[in-house]
Amino acid sequence: MKKVSAGTAHTLPKDLAAALVGDKRARELWEGLTPLARNEWICWVTFVKKAETRKEHVARTVKQLKEGKRRPCCFGGCLHRKK
């Protein structure tokens, strides 16, 4: 698998990494994000409880990156980042 950068407080989960590797444009956009912005996406994907919701968040991450979004919509931010 190609290397995909992680965030500041979280490691990149395998399902999100696989989705980004599978979409060249989304991966390029991901790599253009700041580490803090990548961290927000990772936290948004991983903080959910249901596997079904997580799959939806992974798919939406790829879609929204390609739509020009740099942070997840309507997400208050990662609670795990250092203040």
Residue range 7-19, pLDDT digits in tens: 888 899 999 999 9
Domain residue ranges of the chain, discontinuous segments joined by +: 14-66
pLDDT for position 79? 72
- Give the list of residues 6+ apart from residue 38 with CB closer than 8 angstroms, or none: 5, 6, 7, 8, 12, 30
pLDDT at 75 over 70: yes
Residue range 31-51, pLDDT digits in tens: 999 999 999 999 999 999 999
- Give the list of residues 6+ apart from residue 18 with CB closer than 8 angstroms, or none: 1
The model's pTM is 0.89
Q: In angstroms, rounded to a whole number, what is the distance separating the alpha carbons of residues 24 and 20?
A: 7
Q: In angstroms, rounded to a whole number, what is the distance separating the alpha carbons of residues 43 and 79?
A: 8
**Residue 13 backbone phi and psi in degrees, to 5:** -70, 150
